């Protein structure tokens, strides 16, 4: 396993992070425990979750992923062996089952962290993230920004940042970060933090994969120059980049098939680009999954690649991607496809 510093901290996190959002929906508690057991043996020390998980978010399963992690922590006593990240939910009408006051007000953040502590069976979190912005902006599948004049959002960066840093002072969280943020959101957060003499966010968790390289426009430079770690989610494009859908070996239980509302990677352009990426991988003697993950791992602005799996076979293949180094010819071929079918799944 490889390790990198998390932002400006002295924390070394594994370059592969164990994503957990399927636990409690597509995976049982026992399967989640098996994945964590195996990940630890492979040198993974970084686990990511959220109060709204499992996915898709719904009242019946909300918090199930944190509870599964919590029972594993209690059973194994390995809390100090892992870097644990979770998230407070941004405003969203479909997520009202979590709270009537979703967002990043001080009362909501405090309510959310205490709920996570209870489910995770811990009294601190290493990285606490704001799951998506409160304002109306381009995230979750929106490539371009269209200003919405009816956005009722009131700038409360100071309240959110102050609350996060109070939690740091109290020892409840070690660091904090953002997720699904834009370039403006990150730099506004940094400016407010600097103005108040408070620590900046340590990380940003955004999507990045062969079908969505929009992070490279603006945000990648920000990660490097401001030393704010990118934690990549959806590196496999909901499993499309594995090639199983093109090879007709998918099952009704695969995420894209089971949850039709998760349509971010379902466009004809995404399928065409993926077919071409599969051909590149196979001509290089790689599996499509190995190439897709190795590409993400190779980016200089990526700190950790959050993998997810519903089976141990998938998990083992995904973790093995850390040992795959792509040749210059493969990278050049990938860029040809990207230029011709650019960001089909933003």
- Single out the catalytic residue among 3, 38, 53, 145: 53
Which of 38, 70, 10, 13 is CA-nearest to residue 230? 13
- The DSSP element (H or E) to which 52 belongs, if any, is none
Which of 15, 151, 130 is CA-nearest to residue 83? 15
Tell me, yes or no, if 277 is annotated catalytic: no
Q: How far is CA 24 from CA 32, 93, 155, 282, in A?
A: 8, 22, 35, 34
Report the alpha-carbon distance of residue 254 to residue 194 in Å, rounded.
44
Report the alpha-carbon distance of residue 117 to residue 59 in Å, rounded.
19
Angle in degrees, CA 139, 88, 104, rounded to 5: 80
Burial 44-55 (b: 16+ CB within 10 A, else e): bbbbbbbbbbbb
Collect all residues with Cβ–Cβ distance below 8 Å to 177 and sequence separation of at least 6: 7, 85, 127, 128, 129, 130, 201, 202, 203, 204, 205, 228, 229, 231
Residues with a known catalytic role = 53
């Amino acid at each position: 396993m490889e390790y990198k510093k998390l932002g400006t901290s002295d924390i070394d996190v594994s370059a592969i992070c164990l994503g957990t959002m399927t636990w409690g929906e597509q995976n049982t508690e026992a399967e989640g425990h098996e994945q964590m057991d195996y990940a630890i043996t492979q040198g993974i020390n970084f686990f990511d979750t959220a109060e709204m998980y499992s996915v898709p978010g719904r009242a019946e399963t909300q918090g199930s992923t944190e509870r599964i992690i919590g029972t594993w922590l209690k059973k194994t006593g390995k809390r100090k062996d892992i870097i644990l990240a979770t998230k407070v939910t941004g405003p969203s009408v479909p997520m009202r089952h979590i709270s009537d006051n979703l967002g990043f007000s001080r009362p909501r953040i405090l309510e959310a962290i205490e709920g996570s502590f209870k489910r995770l069976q811990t009294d601190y979190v290493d990285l606490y993230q704001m799951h998506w912005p409160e304002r109306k902006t381009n995230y979750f599948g929106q490539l371009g920004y269209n200003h919405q004049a009816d956005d009722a959002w009131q700038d409360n960066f100071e309240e959110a940042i102050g609350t996060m840093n109070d939690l740091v002072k109290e020892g409840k969280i070690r660091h904090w970060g953002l997720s699904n943020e834009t370039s403006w959101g990150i730099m506004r957060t940094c400016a407010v933090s600097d103005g108040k003499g408070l620590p900046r966010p340590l990380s940003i968790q955004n999507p990045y994969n062969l079908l969505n390289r929009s992070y490279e426009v603006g945000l990648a430079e920000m990660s490097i120059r401001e030393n704010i770690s990118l934690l990549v989610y959806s590196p496999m494009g909901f499993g499309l980049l594995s090639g199983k859908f093109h090879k007709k070996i998918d099952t009704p239980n695969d995420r894209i098939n089971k949850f039709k509302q998760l349509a971010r990677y379902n466009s004809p352009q995404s399928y065409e680009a993926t077919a071409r990426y599969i051909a590149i991988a196979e001509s290089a003697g790689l599996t499509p999954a190995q190439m897709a993950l190795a590409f993400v791992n190779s980016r200089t602005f990526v700190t950790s690649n959050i993998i997810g799996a519903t089976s141990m076979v998938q998990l083992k293949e995904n973790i093995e991607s850390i040992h795959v180094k792509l040749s210059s010819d493969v990278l050049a071929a990938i860029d040809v496809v990207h230029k011709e079918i650019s960001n089909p799944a933003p």
